[in-house]
Structure 1
Amino acid sequence: MSENPSPPPSPDQALLRLLAIMAKLRDPVGGCPWDQVQDFATIAPYTIEEAYEVADAIRRGPDVPALLDELGDLLFQVVYHAQMAQEAGHFDFAAVAEAISGKMIRRHPHVFGEAAARDAAGQTSAWEIQKAEERAARAETGTLAGIPAGLPALTRAAKLTRRAARVGFDWPDAASVLDKLEEEAAELRAELPEADPARLADEVGDLLFVLANLARKLDLDPEECLRAANAKFERRFTGVERRLARRGLAPTDAGLEAMEAEWQAVKAAEKAGG
């Protein structure tokens, strides 16, 4: 007769185990040599990467086993930063958890306090007011204060202009943004004969900034739009390679004209549902 399986650990037990593992990895004596030498700056790129991998697992369906795994990786990043902060005498994981708990309670008085319940639109407005008050308490002044510089550039462009739009600095409609897009494209075209790298970079930046605003005006996420375009290009180009391979050709041997013909064939097949 088999023994009864052990009950799963409680959330407290699981978290304490993870914290202990992180502390052991950073232990100056007996820890992992790689983990011992990391700091906030070197770990930050991994934190960003793990957040994207969580989002990718969600987009895939969601892919539940992958989401479980990726959320663990993301939690480990939080634990990692908290451990380094604790070693430096700044704060520990408990302080991180307490800080976000307090913030959520402050931002939801209709749930945790006596304020009247709000609909989704009202709550969004109240949330922004609360965030503005928190920025003011941190002496972050100005309409654009508090928008992280480390955000993906397209996302930050949309956030910057969304914030500016709240005080009336915005295009009236998407058609006006398209007019601006044509203006910026003309300016870029004018720079092409000189091909000065700094000027070209400036004009391409302007063009991308306006595109991010166009997505915002259409209630679209510019990062999601570009991510979908990347996936579409990857899918179609892979299709081109497969079609060429059936003809015994590699892309480098086929030439641009043949690849373009196959590209159009792949597009036509997609539109036809094939």
Structure 2
Amino acid sequence: MNIFNILKEVEKVDPEVFDRLDPRREVFKHFGGFGKKLVAAAIPLAFGSMLNKAYGQNTTSIRDVLEFALKLENLEYYFYKRAADTNIFPSAAGKTAFGVIRDHEEDHVNFLRQAITGLGGAAPTTYTDANFDWTAKGLLGNATFTDYGTMLAVAQAFEDTGVRAYKGAAPALISNDTVLQAALQIHSVEARHAAHLRRMRRDMANGVANLKPWITMKDRGGLPPEFQGIYDGEDNISQGGVTITGTFGGITIDANAASEAFDEPLTVAQVNTIVTPFIA
């Protein structure tokens, strides 16, 4: 194993890797001082420790991410709790679906509270229905829970945001395997919610024609312009530095298909901009 060559390869991907560590000279000095008698097995351990210093997240960072996720999950839980109690569903199946999603969101809330408690320190933030503004600062008026189409649109907006928010948060949780695994599991459930709700919007009376279960480019899927921030950036056609449009083995992949194949992450700042109207 040539540790110096590995460092050079890491530097190609992350030119600031040495800024995250000791000065370059000190890094190489540490490795140079191992001596000939150092067993080879120790080198990967030392290298892993060094990368953990460069990229590992501390408990405070993880707590911040979990607290933010807790706020979003409470937003969704209290939304579905109210929605499931309404009588505006045109079918029992729709009401049942909202009840199931409500229960999922409650489970997510409970998990996040337990995860935050497990980190120690102050108790996790407690939310109630009163913490949220279901009119979205007047944008939706009283339609959120009185108009079925509006209620479904808000549900889609929340779920599409959640999928991208969890993807954006994943790198900050990389140092805690248990929390990261659970967050990615929640991410997959949010994606299934989003797909189901999009189908419900398509199939309702006077529904959104041709609405797909996934996002195409940065199309809002029939939502008002005020929700565009949820979808901006989803028209990305490059992944890992590779453009994924073109013809491969006789199969042509256009921009629509390329954008549908991946969800793009949202930053905390972007998510905050999206959900702020719903925070009381």
Query: Could you say which TM-score interval applies, normalised by the shorter chain?
Result: under 0.3
The answer to which structure, 1 or 2, has the higher relative contact order (CA under 8 A, 6+ apart) is: 2
User: Which has a greater percent of helix?
Assistant: 1
Structure of higher CA gyration radius? 1
